[in-house]
Structure 1
């Protein structure tokens, strides 16, 4: 206990003095050169999925299994992040891997911002990524919510009758929503909402009824707009609520107009969400093109040869320059493209 208090105080001092984030931890069965990824999740419907498109940074463990992410490139306000250990191939397309159920993956979701210092220690039972010590008091709230979800699951398994199910749904919707609102962090409420409104869960049928009778969903939208305006997830939430209200109304009314309107709204929602999700990729591609345009003709020629997997010696021979000159050009290219190695160049410009 005292160890954790001392560590939390140390973390707080470090975050103030360095003014940058630092996420560190240790994996179980320590091994070096294990890949650890840091991801940001803007689409809350992908909270349970592992996707390379979400990754913002990658590191590897040292000989004792420790890993460390640090810098100042994260957002200044809270966002949902994931750290995960992944022993699968980066090109894996297996459904279990895509939905985060792969046995070779281990991950944890948490809330953080650019100035946070967070540690993910190994537990006494040698488990990894199951405990959080942070300077941000909202970092661990997903773990607290998961405890409530487990309690809910136990109660549902005790009695499977329709009457018991209805009572439990009413109780746990209220419990989870009240708990989330008291946390004063709309991201935590999104985490709860994603669970309760998930079409794959038994909660979905009750959610469709609750969305009409309960003013909570409108109020959550207002809290998101106040705390996180102009964000992808706030726009996504408002659009989903609008559509789900139409679904709920359609379930209680036999209007032919609504039956035709619903597919149209669903189509618009899909197109809108695809647009929102595509924007970061489009912007990233534009940034890459702008950076490439800043290169000299000589540097652009070297980039093309790097993409052809040529070595420095081969490039020097082709361009009739010395190897040291090639190295100088490559260092300048790294700075202008804001990359650190050839692999990143290939990922961005292939």
Structure 2
């Protein structure tokens, strides 16, 4: 009996120790439909919006607007999640979720893992999704970043001159970058990075310039690979960074003075031609020496007289041999030097 009780206790303890998440809160059900959606975000370029492929659960609120997501199927390390409500009607809700846009929606973005408990209570005057209470200190980082971005929007809106815009670009770019780094959460830095590098905003040009000299981006990659080596965020960031670095380097190449390259090519070509000619001459001389070594002493004497443009009779008189002997030696010389006429011999040795 005691063994059975001990076994039962062990099983209950094991079941209770299994990690489970719990995300709960309230919505104003007078303003919003009673459907609440939970999404996992694996593409940090799609953090804000409504995307059907990201939705992993849907619950309905009770009469007081309370909702709760729970289970044990989430990742065991930090990921980006979104909870949202919208007022799309049933007949157009699927279309809104498909194209990633709903004019009338409210969302909250947070970081969580499978063992986290998170509560989204009402704040002042029934404002929802403005506060996050969690046992995971990283859960609220996106709220902090959004708060800083609101300050940035105010600073940009105060003065609209071109000079003010450039100064604010430089100031807030660095401010957001440093703020993200100090959060000690690389995933949160990606939220900032996706904003600063977005091709649709004014900061993108500054980002490309910053990428040329700032080691921050490769440092961020290092932090991601150390903390989240196998996450989709790390793979996506690495691919984007490689692509943007290629763009930056390609632009640098386009500013290169091509005249210098042309002059260099011409000089190298001239040096190459001289080297080729000298080596060809050297090889040709070597070939002629080897060819002459094949000739007998008498054939070499006749070759010298041929190069002096002596006739066969003149060669015979000079060497005191018969005319037929000279003709035989000349034919042997032709064969050994692989020529067929006196002109070819002169061309071969005089070149």
Question: Is TM > 0.5 for Structure 1 vs Structure 2?
Answer: yes
Q: Quote the RMSD (CA, aligned, Å).
A: 2.4
Is the Cα–Cα contact under 8 Å of residues 177 and 189 in structure 2 kept in the other structure? yes
Residue 96 of structure 1: CA displacement?
9.7
Partner of 1:310: none
Matches within 5 A, 1:11-26: 19-26=19-26
TM normalised by structure 2 equals 0.64
Gaps of 5+ in 2: 1-15, 257-351
Verify: 1:85 aligned to 2:82, yes or no.
no
Partner of 1:132: 132
Instruction: Give the Cα–Cα distance (whole angstroms) in 1 for the partners of residues 103 and 26 of structure 2.
Output: 20
Residue 93 of structure 1: CA displacement?
6.6
Partner of 2:251: 251
Partner of 2:103: 102
Instruction: Give the Cα–Cα distance (whole angstroms) in 2 for the partners of residues 149 and 32 of structure 1.
Output: 26
SS of equivalent residue, structure 1 residue 57: strand
Residue 55 of structure 1: CA displacement?
1.0
Residue 32 of structure 1: CA displacement?
10
Residue 63 of structure 1: CA displacement?
1.2
Partner of 2:299: none
Instruction: Give the Cα–Cα distance (whole angstroms) in 1 for the partners of residues 72 and 57 of structure 2.
Output: 12
SS of equivalent residue, structure 2 residue 229: coil
Partner of 1:312: none
Deviations 1:263-312, CA, capped at 9 Å, x for gaps: xxxxxxxxxxxxxxxxxxxxxxxxxxxxxxxxxxxxxxxxxxxxxxxxxx
Partner of 1:205: 205
Verify: 1:51 aligned to 2:66, yes or no.
no
Residue 36 and residue 199 in structure 1: after superposition, are their counterparts in 2 closer, same or farther (change >3 A)?
same
Residue 43 of structure 1: CA displacement?
0.4
SS of equivalent residue, structure 1 residue 139: helix
Gaps of 5+ in 1: 1-15, 257-350
Residue 142 and residue 100 in structure 1: after superposition, are their counterparts in 2 closer, same or farther (change >3 A)?
farther
Partner of 2:190: 190
TM normalised by structure 1 equals 0.64
Residue 32 and residue 211 in structure 1: after superposition, are their counterparts in 2 closer, same or farther (change >3 A)?
closer
Q: Kindly name which structure, 1 or 2, has the bigger radius of gyration based on alpha carbons.
A: 2
Partner of 2:60: 60
Instruction: Give the Cα–Cα distance (whole angstroms) in 1 for the partners of residues 240 and 134 of structure 2.
Output: 32
Residue 164 and residue 18 in structure 1: after superposition, are their counterparts in 2 closer, same or farther (change >3 A)?
same
Residue 40 of structure 1: CA displacement?
0.3
